């Protein structure tokens, strides 16, 4: 057959003509068999897992997939993939050049889970290290704990040989923080209600003016994968919500919120408003739904409905009495079925949510299944 895939070749990447990113994948031959009749390997991630390359040939999902089909440990492969995004100064939502907190300091969160080993590790409010996903993995492998935060996490990383830098801001991330800072009360610490409104309104003004993409306000990368043996792993890493309160830890490093992997049933991770995800422990809920036989899409919709039902505070509702924020889930089950689901269909008017996928047919951006039409505005 003309389109039959040679068992000894894998052409990574396909032309992404017509996709929102406008980026074409490189065509690179990989000499590795994908065993027919077994589980088809797949890697899924947030859209920056497709668009960001840090000046290289491969994006996150391509890098992870290539390593998985060459028999690398699935978690090692996924982390090497997200390292590309963490190190890319053009991605302002993760790692180096990520959005700083309200005091101008970049604090990073990350979590990883290994399905077959039934192990996990995470870090929160970590300063000075560009690749928090690797520190999370070191916590998993070298401690009896699941989560280290703040200075203790940095001290641990230093002891493990990680380079600690004084400042992870880029010129761009610092300029955006200064712009945000100038827009709110110079004293900054108002009464809680006014401070929250001032900070959010300033951020929304900057989004509406096109200064920062909306997805970078909450920005994160989640990446999950499965190999032909059915080994499931996942990793989530982020700089957190832009200009957050110092020491705020979001959902990304919290097991069951920003990431959950059960090697016997599935993996799920998220991007978007972390507080909504923590409150509902949605990644855990999604995996439990798959444990009970649900398809990844249906499992994700259950979690999104839970968020919608539990969002009742007026400050978190739009004019339609629906959540005024976004949450997106990236899901794989034990059989290799996968999905991306979101609260809303669009990030903004006429800009649909998409997620990154890499299979034996290459990498692409795929349409996300929404719970609600339109966008969160």
What CATH number is attached to the domain comprising 138? 3.60.20.30
Flag whether pLDDT at 227 surpasses 80: yes
Task: Report CA dihedral (155, 159, 160, 165) to the nearest 10 degrees.
Answer: 60
In the chain, the number of structural domains is: 1
Neighbours of 150 (CB within 10 A): 15
CA nearest neighbour of 221 among 67, 49, 44, 62 = 49
Q: Is residue 191 part of a domain?
A: no
Q: Is residue 190 part of a domain?
A: no
Helix/strand/coil for 144: coil
Q: How confident is the model at residue 14 (pLDDT cuts 50, 70, 90)?
A: very low
Q: What are 322-362's pLDDT values in tens digits?
A: 999 999 999 999 999 999 999 999 998 789 999 999 999 99
Q: Is residue 49 part of a domain?
A: yes
169 contacts 177 by C-beta, under 8 angstroms: yes
pLDDT for position 35: 59
Enclosing domain of residue 69: 10-170+212-372
Its pTM surpasses 0.95: no
Would residue 236 show up in a list of annotated catalytic residues for this protein? no
Flag whether pLDDT at 24 surpasses 80: no
Catalytic residue among 220, 228, 237, 311: 220
Distances (CA, A) of 84 to 7, 53, 79, 138, 147: 28, 6, 9, 18, 23
Tokens of 42: 């797949």
| Residues linked to residue 359 through DSSP beta bridges, in sequence order | 362
pLDDT for position 216: 59
Flag whether pLDDT at 115 surpasses 90: yes
Q: How confident is the model at residue 214 (pLDDT cuts 50, 70, 90)?
A: low
Q: Is residue 277 part of a domain?
A: yes
Q: Averaged over 110-123, what is the pLDDT? A: 98
pLDDT for position 197: 63
Tokens of 152: 């203790």
Tokens of 243: 């200009």
Q: Is residue 175 part of a domain?
A: no
Tokens of 83: 């390292």
Q: Is residue 102 part of a domain?
A: yes
Q: Give percent above pLDDT 70 in the chain.
A: 82
């Amino acid at each position: 057959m003309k389109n039959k895939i040679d068992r000894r070749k894998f052409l990574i990447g396909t032309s992404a003509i017509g996709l929102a990113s406008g980026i074409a994948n490189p065509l690179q031959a990989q000499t590795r068999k994908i065993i027919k009749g077994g589980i088809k390997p797949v890697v899924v991630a947030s859209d920056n897992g497709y668009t960001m390359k840090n000046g290289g040939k491969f994006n996150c999902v391509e890098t992870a997939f290539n390593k998985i089909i060459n028999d690398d440990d699935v978690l090692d492969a996924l982390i090497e993939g997200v390292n590309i995004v963490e190190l890319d100064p053009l991605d302002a939502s993760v790692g180096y050049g990520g959005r700083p907190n309200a005091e101008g300091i970049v604090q990073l969160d990350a979590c990883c889970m290994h399905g077959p080993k039934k192990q996990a590790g995470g870090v929160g409010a970590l300063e000075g290290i560009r690749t928090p996903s690797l520190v999370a993995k070191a916590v998993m492998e070298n401690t009896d704990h699941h989560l280290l935060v703040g200075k203790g996490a940095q001290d641990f990383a230093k002891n493990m040989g990680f380079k600690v830098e004084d400042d992870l801001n880029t010129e761009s991330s610092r300029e955006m923080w200064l712009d945000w800072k100038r827009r709110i009360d110079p004293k900054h610490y108002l009464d809680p209600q006014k401070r929250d409104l001032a900070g959010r309104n300033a951020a929304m003004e900057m989004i509406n003016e096109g200064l920062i993409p909306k997805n970078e306000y909450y920005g994160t990368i989640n990446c999950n994968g499965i190999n032909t043996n059915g080994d499931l792993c996942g990793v989530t890493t982020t700089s957190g919500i832009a200009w957050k309160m110092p020491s705020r830890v979001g959902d990304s490093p919290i097991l069951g919120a920003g990431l959950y992997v059960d090697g016997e049933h599935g993996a799920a991770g998220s991007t978007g408003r972390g507080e909504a995800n923590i409150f509902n422990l949605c990644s855990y809920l999604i995996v439990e739904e798959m444990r009970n036989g649900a398809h990844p899409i249906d499992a994700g919709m259950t979690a999104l409905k839970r968020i919608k039902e539990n969002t009742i505070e007026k400050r978190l509702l739009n004019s339609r009495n629906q959540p005024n924020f976004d949450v997106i889930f990236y899901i794989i089950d034990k059989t290799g079925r996968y999905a991306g689901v979101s609260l809303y269909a669009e990030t903004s008017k006429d800009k649909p949510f998409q997620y990154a996928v890499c299979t034996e047919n290459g990498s692409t951006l795929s349409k996300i299944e929404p719970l609600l039409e339109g966008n969160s505005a």
